[in-house]
Structure 1
């Protein structure tokens, strides 16, 4: 099953170094039967986009939870920009979790780089909106309409698609 794993740039750096990615809490998003049922219509590509949007929002939560906020270069002296990151991977076993949300699945263990199908990352033009959305994602989740509008502003930016072979170059160009 194709799953969409929320991540951060520091997590991509670790994936590049180790060849493995451990999803936080095993949480991922996918085109699940519950997601399909929640839409009146839409093809698989449109529904996968909904799962990707959910993973991108979860990426905002991960960045906010990292504690250091944007610019955490992991002590390397080079701050990392604020960008949403979603890792698309193909895994054999997931557990559907419609009790958490219609697109949520849980996976166990590491996801290897060989299972990664592609990487989805914000471009530099989204950074200001990403920083603002990071500050407000919790408030949006709790129903704050102004915060939800800020999240909508960042969701207006499409994530760029990168092949796994491009990972070292993507990180180098940041």
Structure 2
């Protein structure tokens, strides 16, 4: 099952050093029946974008709690077995799920991250004009070496 895990540069660096996201449970976002009903479509691409957008909003909240992290939203897309992905009954948003296991690096499909030029707007909470950029998993280590050059 494809999930979208909100993160920051800080949590991403820890995950790369640890071989994955190991401090479960995690809140993530996915295409759930509740999300399908809320969005009102069966278009998988549109539903995936909605789930990723919810994760981007959660990443923004994480940035508020981590003022040392670069002001760039980070969303990790991963393929996980459904047995560790659970819908949240009283979820704040319809695509919210709980991950009850490790998200190993080998399960990460890609990362979606704001461009460095977006940082002033992201810091101010103005995200409407910024789309997340796609990064392959092999690019993540280089991105973390100098987050201002990616």
Q: Which runs of 5+ in 1 are unaligned?
A: 73-79, 134-152
**Counterpart secondary structure, 2:75:** strand
Q: Give the structure 2 partner of residue 85 of structure 1.
A: 74
Contact 2:5 2:75 in 1 (8 A): yes
Q: Give the structure 2 partner of residue 59 of structure 1.
A: 59
- State the 4+ residue runs in structure 1 displaced beyond 4 angstroms: none
* CA deviation after TM superposition for structure 1 residue 25, in Å: 4.7
Contact 2:72 2:114 in 1 (8 A): yes
Contact 1:31 1:47 in 2 (8 A): yes
Match of 2:95 among 93, 103, 112: 103
User: Who wins on radius of gyration, i.e. which is larger?
Assistant: 1
Q: Give the structure 2 partner of residue 132 of structure 1.
A: 124
Q: Give the structure 2 partner of residue 165 of structure 1.
A: 138
How many pairs were matched up?
144
**Counterpart secondary structure, 2:5:** strand
Aligned CA-pair RMSD: 1.6
Q: Which runs of 5+ in 2 are unaligned?
A: none
Q: Give the structure 1 partner of residue 38 of structure 2.
A: 38
Aligned equivalents of 1:16, 1:103: Cα separation in 2: 26
In 2 relative to 1, CA 25–63 (structure 1 residues): closer, same or farther, beyond 3 Å?
farther
Q: Give the structure 2 partner of residue 139 of structure 1.
A: none
Contact 2:75 2:112 in 1 (8 A): yes
- CA deviations on 1:58-78 (whole Å, 9 max, x unpaired) are 001111122xx1xx2xxxxxx
- CA deviations on 1:29-75 (whole Å, 9 max, x unpaired) are 00111111112335111111111111001001111122xx1xx2xxx
- 1:27 and 2:19 matched: no
